[in-house]
Amino acid sequence: MKKVVLASNNKHKIKEIKMIFNDVEILTLKDIDYNDEIEESGSTFLENALIKAKTVKKYLIEKGLDYPVLADDSGLCCEAIDLAPGVYSARYAGVHDDSAANRAKLLKELKDKKRKAYFTCTLVYLEDMNSYIYKEGKTYGTIIDDERGKKDFGYDCIFLSDDLGVTFGEASEEAKNKVSHRFRALKGLKEELKKRS
């Protein structure tokens, strides 16, 4: 089975990608002993995904390992506030991955505004430093005030999915993974890789 390094240690992301991208062996940063923090300094999702992919690829080359790297950057975009929180989704309230604080800030910003929103994912597949494929996926919904379902992952419990009619926090992993932004990006990537094989 082909091995691909996923440029992440985020357990939710790893689990979701492993469920969807199930025909390759996914190695995490922990698996390759990569322990440094990667600074996401890009202003777009694609820039951040490329920063992650190239940083990890450089590390693999230095270690004499020749695996492709899969990296994504994803976030929530709300139409009424200029597509914020966008690339700052994980650190919207100032502290990285404080989901409750991020949701509280978002609901404050959206007070008396329209609530249409979408999750977006930009996925980069890097074979070597000069060659990559990228795909985007989006899933649409509405931001609601009351938190429903699991509250441990980002904005899921206040994102009412247009596809599912429930929040991502209420949805089963199987249901969410059939309509998620990451699933749609991965599906596009798998189709592209199949064409090229």
CA distance 140 to 57: 32
Provide the 3-class DSSP secondary structure of residue 41: coil
C-alpha triplet 10, 2, 21: angle, nearest 5° = 45
Q: DSSP per residue over 133-158, as a string?
A: EEEEEEEEEEE-SS--S--SSTTGGG
Single out the catalytic residue among 33, 66, 72, 73: 73
Query: Does the active-site annotation cover 128?
Result: no
Separation CA 134–CA 48 (nearest Å): 12
Rounded to whole angstroms, the maximal C-alpha distance in the chain is 55
Residues in the chain: 197
How far is 124 from 50, CA to CA, in rounded Å?
Answer: 7
Contacts of 31 (CB under 8 A, 6+ apart): 5
On the question of a cis peptide bond just before residue 68, with omega within 30 degrees of 0, the verdict is: no
Show which residues are catalytic.
Answer: 73
